Amino acid sequence: MTTAAGTALSNDGLTVLSEEEELFRASVREFAEGEVRPRVEHMEQAAKLDADLIKQCFELGLMAIESPEEYGGAGSTIFNAILAIEELARVDASVSVFVDVHNTLVTNAFMRWGSDELKKKYLTQMATGKVGAYALSEAGSGSDAFALSTKAADKGDYWELTGQKLWITNGNEAEIFIVFATIDPAAGYKGITAFIVEKGFEGFTVGKKEDKLGIRASSTTELIFDGCKVPKENVLGEVGKGYKVSIETLNEGRIGIGAQMLGIAQGAYECALKYTQEREQFGQSINSFQAVQFQLAEMAVEIEATRLLVYNAARLKDAGLPFLKEAAMAKLYSSRCAEAVASKAIELYGGYGYVKDYPVEKYWRDSKIGAIYEGTSNMQLQTIAKLIMSGK
């Protein structure tokens, strides 16, 4: 259906997309169904992303959605980025977060804080084949992100990094890392600086891969810096201003996580809807019972509410308007929605929902991380409350 304004109403409900956005969404869905879905089970069992699939993500431009055209990107919007993240998560959350982190965290940080020289060097590489990762978290630095202990020492013509990072998404696949370290622990957050580290830098190694509950094909690793030498020009932003890089980048990243959780919820819901049409009890399909219909209706309402929150936050970001509160709300609500919808899908499947032969238990396992990474639910509530109390 096309409106007078030249936009098209999405098949998913009330959310209005332009015709160009609809076409982009359809192309990503075709890729997700045709190339990702056949590989999901194998990647889940191997706990590793398919190398050919990674290559295809680059070839299709999914790794440079917002990157300017001059650096090999599409020069598009965060809205298109979250459409891609949503559609991929509808099929597999691991592929989705792989694309998400590369786009909404790493690429976004370079675009906002990188010098022309750094953009030309690294955004070009990240558009054509080199994966990015974002290294902030440490063993003693989670929600208290600025309590990090990784140190950076000025050695005259280079920086020397020493320390360890944990829970780094894309750790095994990445070749370009944005790493946060402090140049002066006594300075608190004012000592934090963002550095660009390449995989081959002396003194840098990727450590063990975590054995996780969900998003198992996505690599989550430790990073070890043992006197890692970083060129002076590889500071992203200003020395001592890394806290601004991290905060402002994560604000956009939370919209991406919201899109990932939305996709998980949508995928679980579609599986449940199809199953209740096929499953018969008492001589009729179980979706003919009002109790089941009501549960499906509740799931659909929660998904649509989530979609509107996520899309609204992305639209605000693209319009250059304040979006911090909306991004926090979208991430908080979407993580709750994904977990609740996936859990209900398991119940609608009955005993089959609890075994790995059927897809819905994976959606639930994949959903749980949404309340944890890129800011826990409690931290989102704190952000929302602070902004409400300040009258913003």
Average pLDDT over residues 368-382: 97
The dihedral region occupied by 237, where left means phi > 0, alpha psi between -120 and 50, and beta the remainder, is left
Only one residue has tokens 């992100």, namely 145
CA–CA separation, 213 vs 201, rounded Å? 31
Q: What is the pLDDT of residue 5?
A: 36
102-153, pLDDT tens digit by residue? 999 999 999 999 999 999 999 999 999 999 999 999 999 888 877 899 999 9
The four Cα atoms 199, 174, 141, 113 give a dihedral, to 10 degrees, of 90
Whether the predicted pLDDT of 163 surpasses 70: yes
Residue 211 near residue 168 (C-beta atoms within 8 A): no
Q: What is the pLDDT of residue 145?
A: 75
Average pLDDT over residues 78-102: 98
Strand residue runs (E) in the chain: 7-9, 16-18, 131-135, 151-154, 158-169, 174-182, 192-198, 204-209, 220-231, 235-236, 280-281, 284-285
Only one residue has tokens 């998404």, namely 169
Whether the predicted pLDDT of 211 surpasses 60: yes
The phi, psi pair for 257, rounded to 5°, reads -65, -40
**For residue 391, what pLDDT band results from cuts at 50, 70 and 90?**
confident
Strand 131-135 relative to strand 174-182, pairing: parallel
Q: What is the pLDDT of residue 392?
A: 65
Average pLDDT over residues 189-218: 97
Q: What is the pLDDT of residue 146?
A: 78
Please report the domains of the chain, with CATH numbers, ordered by start residue. 13-130 (1.10.540.10), 133-240 (2.40.110.10), 244-389 (1.20.140.10)
**For residue 247, what pLDDT band results from cuts at 50, 70 and 90?**
very high
Whether the predicted pLDDT of 388 surpasses 70: yes
User: What is the DSSP code string of 52-101?
Assistant: HHHHHHHHTTTT-SSS-GGGTS----HHHHHHHHHHHHHH-HHHHHHHHI
43-70, pLDDT tens digit by residue? 999 999 999 999 999 999 999 999 999 9
Q: Return the percentage of the chain with pLDDT > 70, whole number.
A: 96
Tokens of 380: 């989102």
Whether the predicted pLDDT of 361 surpasses 90: yes
pTM listed for this prediction: 0.95
Catalytic residue numbers, as ranges: 374
Tokens of 98: 């792989």
Strand 151-154 relative to strand 158-169, pairing: antiparallel
Mean predicted lDDT score pLDDT of the chain = 95
Tokens of 28: 């990503």
Tokens of 26: 């359809």
Residue 183 near residue 154 (C-beta atoms within 8 A): yes
Q: Return the percentage of the chain with pLDDT > 90, whole number.
A: 93
More confident residue, 355 or 8: 355
Q: What is the pLDDT of residue 256?
A: 98
Tokens of 131: 């994966």
From residue 344, alpha-carbon distances to 214, 297, 334 in Å are 17, 12, 15
Nearest alpha carbon to residue 57 among 216, 173, 213, 167: 173
Residue 379 near residue 143 (C-beta atoms within 8 A): yes
**For residue 8, what pLDDT band results from cuts at 50, 70 and 90?**
very low
Whether the predicted pLDDT of 3 surpasses 60: no
**DSSP β-bridge partners for residue 193:** 181
Q: What is the pLDDT of residue 15?
A: 66
